[in-house]
Amino acid sequence: MRKISTSLLIVITLLLLSCKTGREGFTIVVRVTDISDGTTFYLMNWRDNTVLDSSLVKNGTFSLKGYLLSPENLLLHATDTSTKEFIYTNLLIGNENLTIQANRRDFPWNIDASGSESQDIAEKFNRIEYQRQVRNKQVRGNFEKLPAELKDEKQLNSSLKDVSDSLDNVKVALVKEMFNSYAALINFKYYKNRFSSNELAGLYEKLGLELKQSIYGKAIKTQIEFPTRQVGESYYDYTAVNQHGDTVSLSQITNKYILLHFSSAACYYSQQSLPELREVYKHYKDKLEIVKISEDIRQDAWGESIKRDSVTWINLWDGKGDFGDAVLKYGTIGTPNYILISPDKVIVEKWFGYEKGIIEEKLGPHF
């Protein structure tokens, strides 16, 4: 075996130390006002919920450091030690030096950040959310000024929906305009079902190589190849690991309806649906197979939720979160999502969210 020279070992050691210390990583310096000293801010990666760094506010300043393989959507958050108010904002950075100046009232959507090209584009989207916040406050304020006899909750909800729809249209237009950016692709996943395969294929071709090879670009390519199926169309097969460590495919389930339940360990309404799912499974077990599709990235979180929820039906996990094959192919956004597939593998029901009785209401006519 050839011996490695002492000089080469020194070079390798220095390189490893350089990587370990994150010398080429990111640094975020934050100057805040109206936030209590001693408040701890945490920096979390939205994609896998890992905490990258934390820091205490001292004399209105704190800093955070870390290293990212590519630009990531991060959550900066804290609970003020004095007021107990939850404070947060989203950041989109790579290995860059970022400076933030903000008052407590600027969170979450109106902070002033500089030093990152990715964040500069992300702030265009944040400004839309800030307008949503301002306009919703105005609508609610006008509602509260009305005499009691003129207050109409339905009209209030309609006005709020108009605000939301209008700004969503603005956001979709910005996604198209800035498509060749991490900020646009991160926002795209919330509006992915507004794009036809042809339109998406044209936008995809405009992406640079780095974005095409990112998880966001790969997800878009999957959506182009597997357009979202609607009620009346055939299903997509899906294969993943179940709670017993076995590889299971939907195609293995025959002569039964399949209820896909897209969920995550932290989804409150998914947990609320469990009693009804248990009753449905008990009554229709000979005709129905429930398949929970976990959108958790961390295997430990998935495993803990299985024990907590005592789920006896099929529980599948692929560790890809929002970018799992089933999520992409079925076009689901958020949790809980439900899709009912007939024994001949045709989608017969699709719905989002849970309220008591809805599962029985959706399944009953088919049985």
Question: Has residue 232 been placed in a domain?
Answer: no
**pLDDT attached to residue 24:** 83
**pLDDT attached to residue 215:** 94
**pLDDT attached to residue 367:** 84
Question: Has residue 250 been placed in a domain?
Answer: yes
Which residue type is seen at 284?
Y
Question: Has residue 231 been placed in a domain?
Answer: no
In angstroms, the CA 328 to CA 356 distance is 27
DSSP strand pairing (112-114 vs 97-103)? antiparallel
Residues 24 and 106 in one domain: yes
Question: Has residue 233 been placed in a domain?
Answer: no
Structure tokens at 112: 């002033």
Express each pLDDT in 107-156 by its tens digit: 999 999 999 999 999 999 999 999 999 999 999 999 999 999 999 999 99
Express each pLDDT in 275-324 by its tens digit: 999 999 999 999 999 999 999 999 999 999 999 998 899 999 999 999 99
Residues 272 and 341 in one domain: yes
Residues 139 and 96 in one domain: no
Residues 93 and 203 in one domain: no
Residues 262 and 349 in one domain: yes
Domain boundary among the residues 190, 225, 260 is at 225
Query: Does the structure show a pLDDT above 60 at 329?
Result: yes
- Which of 272, 298, 290 lies closest to 338, judged by CA? 290
Asked whether 335 and 324 are in contact (CB, 8 A), the reply is: no
For position 27, which CATH number holds?
2.60.40.10
Residues 348 and 259 in one domain: yes
CB atoms within 10 A of CB 93: 24
Name the phi and psi angles at 352, rounded to 5.
-115, 140
In angstroms, the CA 230 to CA 315 distance is 23
Q: What is the number of alpha carbons within 13 Å of residue 160 lying toward its C-beta?
A: 13
**Into how many domains does the chain fold?**
3
In angstroms, the CA 91 to CA 141 distance is 30
In angstroms, the CA 185 to CA 9 distance is 42
Question: Has residue 301 been placed in a domain?
Answer: yes
For position 279, which CATH number holds?
3.40.30.10
Asked whether 123 and 98 are in contact (CB, 8 A), the reply is: no
Mean pLDDT, rounded, for 70-84: 96
In angstroms, the CA 112 to CA 98 distance is 10
Q: How confident is the model at residue 343 (pLDDT cuts 50, 70, 90)?
A: very high
Cα of 46 vs its chain's centroid, Å: 7
Domain boundary among the residues 63, 97, 114 is at 114
Residue recorded with tokens 């896998």: 48
Residues 191 and 247 in one domain: no
Residues 335 and 278 in one domain: yes
Query: Does the structure show a pLDDT above 80 at 10?
Result: no
Residues 284 and 329 in one domain: yes
Chain-wide mean pLDDT for the chain?
92
Query: Does the structure show a pLDDT above 50 at 81?
Result: yes
In angstroms, the CA 177 to CA 188 distance is 12
Helix (H, G, I), strand (E, B) or coil at 58: strand
Residues 284 and 346 in one domain: yes
Question: Has residue 260 been placed in a domain?
Answer: yes
Residue with more model confidence, 3 or 40: 40
In angstroms, the CA 247 to CA 241 distance is 4
Structure tokens at 213: 């090879």
Query: Does the structure show a pLDDT above 50 at 18?
Result: no
Query: Does the structure show a pLDDT above 90 at 5?
Result: no
Asked whether 362 and 351 are in contact (CB, 8 A), the reply is: yes
Question: Has residue 1 been placed in a domain?
Answer: no
Domain boundary among the residues 94, 114, 134 is at 114
Paired strand residues for 92: 73
CB atoms within 10 A of CB 70: 14
Residues 11 and 98 in one domain: yes
Its domain, for residue 308, covers 239-366
Question: Has residue 255 been placed in a domain?
Answer: yes
Structure tokens at 254: 């025959």
Residues 169 and 104 in one domain: no
